[in-house]
Amino acid sequence: MKVFLEVIKLNFKISFQYKWTFAMTLLVQPILLFINIALFKSIYTYNDTSSIKGYGFEQMVWYYTAYYVILSFVWNGITNQISRSIISGELATDLLRPISVFRFMLASAISSRFVAILVDFLPGMIIYSLILFPAFLTLKSFLSFLIIAVLAFLLNYLFSFLLGMSAMIIKNNMSISAIREVLQAIVGGGVIPLEFMPVWLNRIFDLLPFKYIIYWPIQFFLNRVEGDNLGSLVRIGSIQILWIVAFYVVIQILWKRLIKKFCAAGG
Amino acid sequence: MLKLLKLFKLFIWNSKMDISRSMEYRFDFILGTVIGLAFSSIGPILQYLIFTQTKGFPGWNLEQIILFQGILLFTSGIKGMIFGSLPYFVTGIVRKGDFDRLLLKPYSPIGIILASGFRLNNIGPLLSGAFIMVYYIVKMNLHIGIVQIAIFILAIVFGLILFMGYEVLYSSIVIKLVQIGRLDELMNSLLRFGEFPINIFSKTLQTALITVIPFAVWVNIPANALLNRLDYTIPITFVFCALFFYVSLKIWNQFLKKYTSAGG
């Protein structure tokens, strides 16, 4: 645990050197926010309605901003990172560290999210709120969001690591990483609220992990969870934990098998 | 003129190299192309869902907006194939100090940069965009004459000139700031103003999008040409595209004079 915490501290210092790269979201998001305000103002006015699929105007605009807010918590580049370290041969030296590759990359992902929350999420919330105030947000919904977002981070990390392991077979896994992005965008509700999709499709999406990485954290953030908030929190959190356990077990089994066949660059 | 021809030859040579590189990881390339096709379907699906579950937005029906999306994919595919690698290329050479070597070559450095952007991976959106466009032209039974075709082609050409100007500006910022991540993300977010029908924006922004930041040239003008919604603003937008490119070259030359290399 001590080594793990030291790696987090070390990676935090490294990540913080790139603080302006993280903070670039603060310039990108207001632009997208203005575009979405124009787009949805046009749609809501033309449809002469205050609610579409249960989303008020502010919630609909914030849905797309919330997607980036969620990414501050859950994003990682592990899938490509594993591929790059295999192609460059760095994985061979990573295996010699006093900490496993899984834990080392987890520490790296945690520290990068700390930086993202500090320089991206916190100032971002202030700036975006000045452009369009999130009147729907309450302390209760925000705290629920934080719990679900932390679990979503773990789930996304494990999923990314599992996909990253494909590089042990195909070396360059950029395309697999892109598949994940497409699925996350469509199935996870990154491009449009899932309420716009047919019910039968949503039932299928319920059986996949993507909703629990993107869609549900957004729902808690937008304070759109129906019924008892605590009950929903426990239900969604439990499903996330189930996925986390399942991915962890699969990773442990596959890693042991694949690492035996792993041949570093140079033989 | 001779220099332009030589730069074109350099572009062809770079393109062949990119194709060879893509074939090195053939599985990844094929999968990447399939994913590109899937990813490019997101826009039309999104509009389909919006238009089937709401009244959409003013001035556009479902078929017209899918045609709009097809043109968006088609033009994005062309831009992506010709200039897709440019941001990585220019960022890479400036950070490593290799940009200094470009200054010693007998061509203009910005010419070499613009000739190094080919990216085969972006063929997915180009193909799917072309398919959607042709399919909806036939489905909507659009009557397209010589004028419409000429304006469509001119819009693509001036759109590429504008995009070159945009990439020149990007390169100028990179040689000035050297080490700044996600700049491409910021620049791409600005491009999104051109990805929607301009009538959703305020009157001021609409005017800006056909003049000083003529992003309407990429999708709005080609779509309006095919839908036979031609107006007097089109030639104005073309002129502003050429002007944008000219100004961006001036900015590049100013920044290049002050370039101090990655080492300071």
Confidence of residue B179 (pLDDT cuts 50, 70, 90): low
> pLDDT confidence of A123, banded at 50, 70, 90?
confident
Residue ranges covered by each domain of chain B:
2-257
Of the partner residues B28, B56, B183, the one whose CB lies closest to the CB of residue A170: B28
Q: Do the chains contact at A39 and B53, CB–CB below 8 Å?
A: no
Q: Which of residues 45-74 of B touch A (CB under 8 A)?
A: 45-46, 49-50, 53-58
Nearest C-alpha neighbor of A173 from the set A183, A184, A164 = A164
Is residue A19 scored above 90 in pLDDT? no
More confident residue, A205 or A7: A205
Asked if the Cβ–Cβ distance from A185 to B182 is below 8 Å, we say no
pLDDT tens track for B30-78: 877 887 777 777 878 888 888 888 888 888 999 999 999 999 999 999 9
* Residue A265 confidence (pLDDT) above 70: no
Comparing CA positions, the residue from A72, A76, A32 lying closest to residue A181 is: A76
Helix (H, G, I), strand (E, B) or coil at A55: strand
Highest mean pLDDT among A249-253, B25-29, B51-55: A249-253
Rounded CA separation B29/B121 (Å): 7
The SS3 call for residue A139 is: helix
Q: Are A83 and A167 in contact (CB under 8 A)?
A: yes
Mean pLDDT (chain A, rounded): 88
Residue A94 has pLDDT above 80, yes or no: yes
More confident residue, B4 or B218: B218
Partners of residue A173 in chain B, C-beta under 8 Å: 28
**Residue A51 β-bridge partners:** A56
pLDDT confidence bin for A227, thresholds 50/70/90: low
pLDDT for residue A12 is more than 80: no
Q: Which of A247-256, B31-40, B81-90, B252-261 has the lowest mean pLDDT?
A: B31-40
Alpha helices, DSSP H, located in chain B: 2-24, 26-40, 42-53, 62-83, 86-96, 99-102, 109-114, 123-139, 146-177, 183-191, 203-210, 220-226, 233-257
Indicate if the pLDDT at residue B149 is higher than 90: yes
Using the predicted structure, report yes or no on whether residue A14 has a pLDDT greater than 90: no
Mean pLDDT rounded to a whole number for chain B: 89
Q: Which two tokens stand for residue A232?
A: 């929903």
**Is the distance from CB of A263 to CB of A87 less than 8 angstroms?**
no
- Stretch among A209-223, B143-157, B177-191, B207-221 having the lowest mean pLDDT: B177-191
Question: How confident is residue B135, by pLDDT bands cut at 50, 70 and 90?
Answer: very high
The answer to whether residue A1 scores a pLDDT higher than 80 is no
- Model pLDDT, residue B262: 59
Angle value at C-alpha A116, between A192 and A237, nearest 5 degrees: 60
Q: Is A5 part of the contact surface with chain B (CB cutoff 8 Å)?
A: no
Residue B17, pLDDT > 90, answer no
Percent with pLDDT over 90 in chain A: 47
The C-alpha of A5 sits at a distance from chain B's nearest C-alpha, in angstroms, of 27
* Structure confidence at residue A266 as a pLDDT band (50, 70, 90): low
Confidence grade of residue A120 (pLDDT, cut at 50, 70, 90): confident
What's the confidence (pLDDT) of residue A18?
Answer: 72
Q: Please give the ipTM for the structure prediction.
A: 0.81
pLDDT at A62: 94
- Select from A106, A152, A112, A128 the least CA-distant residue to A22: A112
Beta bridge partners of A55: A52
Candidate from B35, B42, B56 with C-beta closest to A179: B35
pLDDT digits (tens, 9 = 90+) for B104-119: 888 899 999 999 999 8
DSSP B117: -
Q: Do A39 and B27 touch (CB under 8 A)?
A: no
When pLDDT is cut at 50, 70 and 90, the band that residue A145 belongs to is very high
The DSSP H or E segment spanning A176 is helix A174-186
Residues of B in contact with A169 (CB under 8 A): none
List, in sequence order, every beta strand (DSSP E) within chain A. Answer: 51-52, 55-56
pLDDT of residue A5: 80
Torsion, CA A42, CA B58, CA B218, CA B204, rounded to 10: -50
| Residue B183 pLDDT grade (very low, low, confident, very high; cuts 50, 70, 90) | confident
